[in-house]
Structure 1
Amino acid sequence: MQLTFDAEVEEFRAELVAFLDANAPTEAEAVERSRSSSDVPPWARRWQRLLFDNGWLLPGNPPEFGGRNANILQQAVHMAELSRRRIYPSFNPQGVGIIAASLLSFGTEEQKHRWAVPILRAEITASLGMSEPGAGSDLASLRTRAVVEGDHFVVNGQKVWTSGAHDADVLLTFVRTDPDVPKHRGISVLLIPTDTPGVTRRPFASICDGDEYDFNEVFFEDAVVPAANLVGELNQGWRVANGSLGHERTLLWTSFADRLHDLLNDYHPTGPLERDRYATLAMDTQALRLLGSAALARAARGEQDVAALSVLKLLGSEAVQKGSEQALYAAGIDGLTHPATTAPFTPLNQDTFIASWFERYARSFAGTIAGGTSEIQRTIIAERVLGLPRS
């Protein structure tokens, strides 16, 4: 395996590095990350717009949508350089990386310019309405109903775990439009502005939120949504769902590799057992990078390998969780203490709201749930890699 890039990719990297050297936010600004759109520092909106205008927001996009038609290897380099500097391209990563990307893949030209471009330019924010109380990992079981009435839909139902919904301007919402067909076939996708009468958002806390909530319940009660807000074809929402999660998963493994790298830097083992656990964490990190590089090479050749992404997601998320648990164990009672008073256990640079090893461990469970649970990944691997029967 050749673990280097060709001259074209390195030229792309050099241009990006020069741009970042000249324009990147200061270190103090970069750590001022918000998980939703509430109280976003003015520099963050300016920074996202600057990236968009110069083609560095999502470089794989065409120039009119904040990119420069970069190939998958160039996109990986872009992500790696931002990660190395601990710079976030957007304060609304779900809106930019999933929702706008889905609109560019499945939306009409009017939807792309009315909704996707303002999201990408940090003029509005968006949230993803997928999960429901009875339909988390099994999205096809969703029950939020949208009924066609003339030139609009009437929506009734509930979503939950909807990150950032209380601050979002629009929700990309998955709804059931045909209850009489197999559950995967009767789903559609609507863009629902959050100021629509009948839409209620209720934020709630998680273990690591502190004073800043992120999760929401969202209720729809006879909410009227224009038919023009249908994304993709009626009853073809499953295709949009797969595309939405595909945008999230393509390079997701790189974020787990970065978190493992941070764990290795911050975790200070003592004694033979702890050093052995540390070595396992180091090997998991290297394995993830090597497997990820192989998957990246296949993608560069135009090969699709959904099963490989599942392997990477499963390995990365569970390695982060296991490593965080081991580091918490090694920290002992100090792991429950704010790092400002306990050296050398310091918070992850990219998540300043994480204040202790316990919170870092608690937060790690999100990685084994979001973007497809570990159980779902194991099912995909069993069927597509091992060839086991669905039963």
Structure 2
Amino acid sequence: MQLSFDADVEEFRAEFVAFLEEHLPDAAETTERASSSADVPEWARRWQRLLFDNGWLLPANPPEFGGRNAGVLQQYVHLEELSKRRIYHSFNPQGLGIIAASLLTFGTDEQKQRWAVPILRAEITAALGMSEPGAGSDLAGLRTRAVRDGDHFVVNGQKVWTSGAHDADVLLTFVRTDPDAPKHKGISVLLIPTDTPGVTRRPFASICGPHDLDFNEVFFENARVPAENLLGPLNGGWTVANGSLGHERTLLWLSFADRLQELTEDFRPESVFDKDSYATLAMDLQALRLLGSQALSRAARGEQDTQSLSILKVLGSEAVQSAAEQALYSQGADGLVHPAFTASYLPMNLDNFSCSWFERYARSFAGTIAGGTSEIQRTIIAERVLGLPRG
């Protein structure tokens, strides 16, 4: 087994490291923080544009879309170097990782230039309108309707949990365009500018309190959307959805490894974890990295490996959740207090941790839901890895 990268990958890494060392924003200019996942401070917009212009934003993309046609292993070391420095390449992650990626996969040339390039260059931001009050993460159960009227679609319905919608310029919105078709075959995708008459966005607080406004309810009341804003084929939204979510799954395990790594580095074991819990955390991290490296090797060979990605998703998300839970219980009442006021909570950089341990634990549940719930992943593992019959 080769546990190192070939020379071309290391050359790629060295070039990127040199770029970071020369261009990384000074800490003094990064004090302005984003208030939502579609609110990008001006310094962060400049940083994202710099990455785009130099081909370092999404290296797998062609140069005209902020990349350099990089392979899977090169993409990995790119993310690894960003992670080492705790650097975001975008403060609009769903815009970059799902919406722009979907536009590049399914969009027309005009749509790519009109929407994808401005999102990639941080000139506009985007949010994902998928979940609904009566359907949750069940996309096939959505009821937001879009009816064709001449050269427009008229949209009525509601979305919820739409992260960053109140700050976004455009919503990638899944709508039902054929109510008589089977549920997963009557769905289409529209790009809906948020200033469209009839679109109302209402942010609401999360468990982290009234200062943490990212989630939104979004209402559509006879909102007229140009038909040219249809992404992909009419009634082909199911395919777009699978492609959209697929963009965030390939290296998703690396984000969980990063969070576990932060825990091992930032906190004194004797102050946050007992020895057994800390050992479990370290072993989970090592297992995740080893399994992830195997999956990475298969991806580099062009092999489809949905099963491994499901295993990594379950292991990573639940390991992060378990570590947060152990830390919370070990803190007792201090776990309910903001870290700035907790003497036993000693991260090296408080800016990275704006919530109490209870809030961090509550947030960890998002990892077991986003990108495919743990229940869905276990079904995939049961059927495709263990060969069990469909239930």
Fold in common (TM above 0.5): yes
**Corresponding residue for 2:80?**
80
Aligned residue for 1:36, secondary structure, equals coil
Kept in 2, the 8 Å contact 1:59–1:69? The answer is yes
Mapped to 2, the partners of 1:39 and 1:237 lie a distance apart of: 27
**Corresponding residue for 1:366?**
366
Kept in 1, the 8 Å contact 2:130–2:174? The answer is yes
1:104 corresponds to which letter in structure 2?
L
Mapped to 2, the partners of 1:60 and 1:35 lie a distance apart of: 29
Identify unmatched segments of 5+ residues in structure 2.
none
Mapped to 2, the partners of 1:160 and 1:30 lie a distance apart of: 31
**Corresponding residue for 1:225?**
225
Residue range with higher mean Cα deviation, 84-93 or 324-333: 324-333
Sort the Cα spacing of 1:99 and 1:349 in 2 relative to 1 into closer, same or farther, 3 A. Answer: farther
**Corresponding residue for 2:42?**
42
Matched, 1:183 2:159: no
1:262-277 equivalences under 5 Å are: 262-270=262-270, 274-277=274-277
**Corresponding residue for 2:342?**
342
Kept in 2, the 8 Å contact 1:269–1:330? The answer is no
Mapped to 2, the partners of 1:306 and 1:27 lie a distance apart of: 39
Deviation at 1:35, TM superposition (A): 5.3
**Corresponding residue for 1:93?**
93
Kept in 1, the 8 Å contact 2:39–2:168? The answer is no
Aligned residue for 1:48, secondary structure, equals helix
Mapped to 2, the partners of 1:284 and 1:305 lie a distance apart of: 21
Mapped to 2, the partners of 1:31 and 1:86 lie a distance apart of: 15
Mapped to 2, the partners of 1:249 and 1:351 lie a distance apart of: 27
Deviation at 1:309, TM superposition (A): 1.0
Matched positions, count: 390
**Corresponding residue for 1:14?**
14
Aligned residue for 2:387, secondary structure, equals coil
2:274 corresponds to which letter in structure 1?
E
2:309 corresponds to which letter in structure 1?
L
2:82 corresponds to which letter in structure 1?
L
Mapped to 2, the partners of 1:125 and 1:348 lie a distance apart of: 31
Mapped to 1, the partners of 2:149 and 2:200 lie a distance apart of: 22
2:92 corresponds to which letter in structure 1?
N
Mapped to 2, the partners of 1:288 and 1:39 lie a distance apart of: 32
**Corresponding residue for 1:125?**
125
**Corresponding residue for 2:377?**
377
TM-score, length basis structure 1: 0.95
Mapped to 2, the partners of 1:322 and 1:333 lie a distance apart of: 18
TM-score, length basis structure 2: 0.95
Q: Deviations over 1:269-321 (max 9, x none)?
A: 449x9211211111111111011111110000001111211111111010000
**Corresponding residue for 2:153?**
153
Sort the Cα spacing of 1:147 and 1:329 in 2 relative to 1 into closer, same or farther, 3 A. Answer: same
**Corresponding residue for 2:214?**
214
Mapped to 1, the partners of 2:278 and 2:2 lie a distance apart of: 27
Aligned residue for 2:310, secondary structure, equals helix
1:290 corresponds to which letter in structure 2?
L
User: Deviation above 6 Å: which 4+ runs of structure 1?
Assistant: none
**Corresponding residue for 1:162?**
162
Aligned residue for 1:256, secondary structure, equals helix
Deviation at 1:10, TM superposition (A): 0.3
**Corresponding residue for 1:301?**
301
Mapped to 1, the partners of 2:311 and 2:362 lie a distance apart of: 23
Deviation at 1:338, TM superposition (A): 2.4
1:155 corresponds to which letter in structure 2?
V
Matched, 1:137 2:137: yes
1:298 corresponds to which letter in structure 2?
R
Mapped to 1, the partners of 2:33 and 2:214 lie a distance apart of: 13
Mapped to 2, the partners of 1:269 and 1:350 lie a distance apart of: 17
1:325-340 equivalences under 5 Å are: 325-340=325-340
What is the alpha-carbon root mean square deviation over aligned residues?
A: 1.9
Matched, 1:64 2:51: no
Kept in 2, the 8 Å contact 1:33–1:351? The answer is no
Residue range with higher mean Cα deviation, 226-235 or 332-341: 332-341
Kept in 2, the 8 Å contact 1:134–1:141? The answer is yes
1:142 corresponds to which letter in structure 2?
L
Kept in 2, the 8 Å contact 1:267–1:327? The answer is no
Aligned residue for 2:69, secondary structure, equals coil
